[in-house]
Structure 1
Amino acid sequence: MSALYALLLLLPLVSAQTYHWGPCPVPKVQPGFNLQQYLGRWYEIEKLPASFERGKCIEANYAVRQDGTIQVRNSQFYKEKTRVAEGTAVIPDMREPAQLGVSFSYFTPYSPYWILTTDYTKLAVVYSCTDILRIFHVDYAWILSRARFLSQGDIEYAKMIMIEEGIDIYGMKPTIQTGCKDD
């Protein structure tokens, strides 16, 4: 009964997310991932819906801090303002450097941020998933690029990778990258 009660309390929190019954898939990540090559600016090309990303011109910047953690600085243009969220990423297990954890608050645990594939210069495919009592899971997925636009062929390639890894991309939506400050 308490599990059902907890489930009912959590459902409103995931209403703007993508959720599915059952546990998270466990996709393969980028072998030999090199964090130094991944650092810098990435533009969001497509994503599974996320309540914290409703704007346009969405981008993420990654940099290593002096303490060895990774600064994550996300920005988006929403309701006529540029909004910035700063978080921290860590690599919990150096044997799997492509499986990062990201948090945007001191009060929240690190969420998975797994780089499924990247060529470091043009394309990255990122996935995050959280199990809720192993009854259902909330997942996020992003196709990122070093430029505001990516070819349709590269987008299809990124989606194919997610599908092959058991990730449901049905609700994936393009991010508007026009009308941005640097256009």
Structure 2
Amino acid sequence: MRTSGAALVFVGLLVGIVGAHDWGWGSCPVIPAKAKLNVDKFIGLWYVIELFDSSSTCQTLNYTRMSETQLSVTKSRQFYILDSLSIDHANTYKGKLDIPNEDNAGKMRVKWPLNIAGKADYTIFDTDYDTYAVIYECQEVSTLAYRQSAAILSRSPTLDSAIVDRVKNQLKGAGISISHFDKIDHSVCTQPSDSSMKIDIDDNTFKDIVDSAGSGIKSVASTVANGATNLADTVVDFTRRFGASTDGSSASATLQEEKYADVEIIS
């Protein structure tokens, strides 16, 4: 299934704004990373058991190595709203992790495609590599405030409650509030290969949005160059191309799909 440029922008904003984060005043808390993290033992698939302020379901994180100093992390999840409408879907969101200091590899920096504020601190707080892991993410958005998130991970869709309680106490001891954790349901999950709707966000997403808008603008410019009779005709043509009303009512948010058939985020 194809989606219009407006839908693409909407999905991007949805993923970028409705994130699993909590806000705080001041600078990011400084918490220790797993000592002498073995990156090769840590990478692979993890199930998110609990996460800050999230209504998503079936969330996983899959880490792969890109180089000695960089990892790729793919976040897969389902959205509660679409679940409630019985729409089979899958969403993937791919970020990049930098390892600035290999001697302290658990202290990373992450860049998510739709985070216009740039990179954030990404700490592997604790892990035994085979059963559980705890990650903490924090980004200072100004000199006065930061946003943070924490996740408890498992190699399987469930995790012993004793481990969950123990790592929460460890986070609390490091100065991180544990009141923001929500449980992630993995009981009914749609595999990406079985989903009727697939939403993929990566480094090319912004480029696709810009290219989509640029195509419409270039088309209008071409019309003018080829002899549009007057400015009013050009404005009407432009608004029609972008699905806006020309009868005095408010503009529609829907772009004409045939004009943007090359922009494909859902397939």
Q: TM-score range by the shorter chain?
A: 0.7 to 0.9
> Quick one: distance in 2 between partners of 1:42 and 1:162?
19
> Quick one: distance in 2 between partners of 1:74 and 1:16?
12
Match of 2:32 in 1: 28
Tell me if structure 2 keeps the 8 A contact 1:55–1:77.
yes
Alpha-carbon shift at residue 67 of structure 1 (Å): 7.8
Could you tell me which runs of 5 or more consecutive residues in structure 2 were left unpaired when the two chains were aligned. Answer: 1-16, 83-87, 192-267
Cα RMSD (Å) of the superposition?
2.2
CA-to-aligned-CA distance 1:91-138 (integer Å, 9 cap, x gap):
022232001111122866221110111000011111011223332221
Identity %: 25
| Distance change (3 Å), C-alpha of 1:17 and 1:71 | closer
Larger CA deviation: 101-110 vs 116-125: 101-110
2:187 to 165, 168, 178: 178
> Quick one: distance in 2 between partners of 1:111 and 1:16?
14
SS of residue matched to 2:156:
coil
> Quick one: distance in 2 between partners of 1:123 and 1:76?
19
Alpha-carbon shift at residue 17 of structure 1 (Å): 3.0
Q: Which amino acid aligns with 2:58?
A: C
Match of 1:9 in 2: none
SS of residue matched to 1:65:
strand
> Quick one: distance in 1 between partners of 2:138 and 2:69?
24
Alpha-carbon shift at residue 70 of structure 1 (Å): 1.2
Match of 2:94 in 1: 86
Alpha-carbon shift at residue 156 of structure 1 (Å): 0.3
SS of residue matched to 1:148:
coil
1:136 to 136, 145, 148: 145
> Quick one: distance in 2 between partners of 1:66 and 1:130?
24
| Distance change (3 Å), C-alpha of 1:163 and 1:67 | closer
Write 1 or 2 for the structure with the bigger share of strand: 1
Match of 1:59 in 2: 60
Tell me if structure 1 keeps the 8 A contact 2:69–2:102.
no
TM-score normalised according to structure 1 size = 0.82
> Quick one: distance in 2 between partners of 1:14 and 1:149?
25
1:167 to 163, 176, 185: 176
TM-score normalised according to structure 2 size = 0.58
Match of 1:77 in 2: 78
Tell me if structure 2 keeps the 8 A contact 1:14–1:138.
no
Total equivalences in the alignment: 167
Which structure is larger by alpha-carbon Rg, 1 or 2? Answer: 2
Match of 1:147 in 2: 156
Match of 1:8 in 2: none
Write 1 or 2 for the structure with the bigger share of helix: 2
